[in-house]
Amino acid sequence: MTEHNPFQHFADWFAAAERSEPRDANAMTLATVAADGTPSARIVLLKGYDPQGFVFYTNTQSRKGGELAANPRAALLFYWKSLGRQIRIEGIAEPVTTAEADAYFATRPRLARLGAWASDQSRVLPARGELESRLAALEQRYPGEDIPRPPHWSGYRVVPARFEFWQEAPFRLHDRTIYERAGAGWATCKLYP
């Protein structure tokens, strides 16, 4: 682990989680805030990361998309119970490029791509049959693999300003390491458990 590089620290812990977690080591809690200050959190899947940030994809007209449009501040939380570890990341969510969104969308299973068109995510669904009807109509409209990305479906990159790496320890004497953006680099410190 490189002590002053939170991205390498993340990569080391994420690799360990991919080896040990039984399912979805890339599951993370995404917290956003509504315009009135009401917090909201949900699980999304990390689809990529690099020194520019942490990427996930969604319907931009969903609740989370609306909240990020009004206030781009976001927090991510990874919790890997099998390792006794969690990582908190705070930063600003920015849209990914059109090319990034198109490239990732093309890798999704066919029904997931059709579902991105069929679902009015976060809106009231009067009956499950309505979603199924929409999906059936889209299967006829796009019978093959060539399914364009909907204009309301894209990704966000959370550009971190702060990390906290938490390692469980006996008697609740946990180890907490903080990285905070400091110019072009990172300042680091420890916190009491």
Backbone angles phi, psi at 93, to 5 degrees: -90, 125
Nearest CA to 190 out of 29, 7, 1, 3 is that of: 3
Instruction: Quote the DSSP letter at residue 172.
Output: G
In the residue annotation, 172 being an active-site residue is answered as yes
Tokens standing for 136? 């059936």
Would you call 59 helix, strand, or coil by DSSP? strand
How far is Cα 121 from Cα 150, in angstroms, rounded to an integer? 13
Strand bridging mode 73-80 / 53-59: unpaired
Catalytic, out of 73, 172, 176, 181: 172
Active site amino acids:
172
